[in-house]
Each structure stands twice: as C-alpha cells, then as structure tokens.
C-alpha cells in the first residue's frame, strides 16, 4: 500500500513509501529516472471512505511527492488515475468532460491529477476502469478472477446490473502506457477497454469465454450491497482519443477476454 517499485542503476529493486518525502527524494535523486510511471494508490474504495486521512496521504500527498521529485529529475511522469473521478451520471466520458467524484477515493485521485497537470512539464494522466488480469496485483484479486474462481467452484454469486464500466485488461493497459512513454504523449488519455458493460454483463461474458455455468451468476442491484462509499452508476469511458493516437489500441471486450484466457493458460 502506497508503494512504487523502481530499478536502480544496478538493477536492484527499491521499495518506496510514496508518503515519505525523504524516501522518495533519496531514491529519485539516486536513480535520476527519465520516466516515472506512478501506479501506487490506496484503491480500496470503502477503506478510503473510512480512513480519509490515510487515503489523502497516499493518493494526494503521495502523488505530490512523486511529482515534485520527478519534476526535479525532469522526468516524464505517467500518473495512473481512475474512472472514479467522474460522477457516473451520464457515462461514456471523454477526456474533456467535467470531473465530479462521488466518493473520497475519487476525490483523492482527482487531487493527484490536479497536482500532476499543474506541476509537471511533461506528463500523462492515464484513466483505466476496472483493471483485471490473469494474476492478482499486489495480492488483490481482481473482479474477473473473483468471478472465475466462484464459477469454477460451482458457487453462485450476486453481480450488480446497475453499474456500468469499461473493463481494462492489464496487459493491454501496460502496452498502451509503454507506447505513451516511448512517444512522450502529453495530456489526459482514457486507456481503458473499448466496450462499456455493466458488471453483470461482464461476468456473463467471462462465463461464456471460459465455458463455465452462467446460471450461477445472479443479477443484483447496488442497493443490495453493504457499501460504505457511494459508487458512481456509469463511469464507462470514451476511448476514441486513445484509439486514434495510440497504435496499441484499447481492446474490445471479446478480444480482451480471449487474450485473458490465453494468458491464464500459460
């Protein structure tokens, strides 16, 4: 939580607590990176609502620390943000649409965006949505793996029908970010999956792709969830800008899930 990994000149991994300015400064001063990809965040939405001090320290102050010392190094900074900077009132948001988060997680991530866009000379704010992939990231099981695990065990699950997103395959996201870095593409980019779906539809597509029992997936609504933080209704992202400007295109969900299946077989 709150950490990024960097390679020193010797190739030794270094863990940085982004909330510790001294630690961030020491490592970036030593490494003098040309590129910084800032992915560290507190992403547990309910925890951010419960512990706003921690959320602000990691997502807002931590990002400021990374940005300030990246600027000192004259590095190109990619800040991985979130679709939760939007209210969810309309969906299919483009990069120029008004940001208006409805929970504290979104507020802290938006503050990170503001820091990067006002402080940095060379930067990209990348907004994905519901990142998933073949292995858990930092021990956190993503939505797709949770669905597949339940289906493989023959367990029923409730999945909501009233929250629309743009599920983003992590390897596709990585490809797009690497291209952004290589070409120094400045600005805000929606680097998300190219298909808006609700979570129930996403779960059904997973079942179909992996030849698992769809009847185990029970439609539900967000009103049945015991969430602490409010969730936006529709934060699907318009990816036209990325599709036009980036060679590694945002994937349609069918192609992304086909790739996920191949990656899980490796």
pLDDT tens sequence across 158-187: 999 999 999 999 999 999 999 999 999 999
Q: Three-state DSSP class for 37? A: strand
Q: Three-state DSSP class for 126? A: strand
What domains, with CATH codes, occur in the chain? Answer: 3-265 (3.40.50.720)
Asked if 118 contacts 71 with a C-beta cutoff of 8 angstroms, the reply is: no
What is the model's pLDDT at position 140? 78
Asked if 261 contacts 145 with a C-beta cutoff of 8 angstroms, the reply is: no
Regions of the chain short of the pLDDT cut 50: 1-9
The CA-to-CA distance between both ends of the chain, in Å, stands at: 28
Asked if 49 contacts 95 with a C-beta cutoff of 8 angstroms, the reply is: no
What is the model's pLDDT at position 8? 44
Burial profile 123-157: b = 16 or more Cβ within 10 angstroms, e = fewer: bbbbbbbbbbbbeeeeeeebbbbbbbebbeeeeee
HEC readout, 190-241: ECCCCCCEEHHHHHHHHHHHCCCCHHHEEEECHHHCCCCCCCCCECCECCHH
Q: Which backbone phi and psi does 231 adopt, to 5 degrees?
A: -110, 140
Phi-psi region of 91 (alpha: psi -120 to 50; beta: other; left: phi over 0): left
């Amino acid at each position: 939580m709150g950490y990024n990994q960097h390679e020193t000149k010797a190739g030794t991994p270094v863990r940085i607590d982004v909330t510790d300015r001294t630690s961030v400064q020491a490592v970036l001063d030593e490494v003098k990176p040309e590129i910084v990809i800032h992915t560290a965040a507190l992403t547990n939405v309910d925890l951010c609502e419960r512990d706003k001090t921690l959320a602000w320290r990691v997502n807002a102050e931590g990002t400021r620390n990374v940005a300030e010392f990246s600027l000192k190094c004259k590095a190109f900074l990619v800040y991985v943000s979130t679709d939760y900077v939007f209210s969810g009132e309309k969906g299919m948001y483009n990069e120029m649409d008004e940001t208006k988060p409805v929970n504290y997680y979104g507020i802290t991530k938006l503050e990170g965006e503001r820091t990067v866009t006002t402080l940095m000379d060379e930067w990209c704010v990348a907004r994905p949505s519901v990142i998933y992939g073949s292995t858990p990231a930092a021990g956190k099981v993503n939505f797709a793996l949770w669905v597949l695990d339940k289906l493989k065990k023959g367990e029923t699950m409730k999945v909501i029908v009233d929250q629309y997103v743009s599920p983003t395959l992590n390897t596709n996201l990585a490809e797009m970010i690497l291209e952004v870095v290589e070409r120094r593409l400045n600005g805000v980019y929606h680097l998300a999956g190219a298909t808006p779906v609700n979570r129930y539809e996403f779960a059904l597509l997973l079942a179909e792709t992996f030849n698992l029992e769809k009847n185990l997936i029970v439609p539900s609504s967000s009103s049945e969830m015991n969430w602490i933080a409010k969730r936006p209704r529709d934060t699907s992202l318009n990816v036209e800008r990325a599709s036009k400007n980036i060679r590694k295109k945002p994937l349609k969900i069918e192609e992304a899930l086909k790739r996920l299946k191949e990656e899980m077989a490796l």
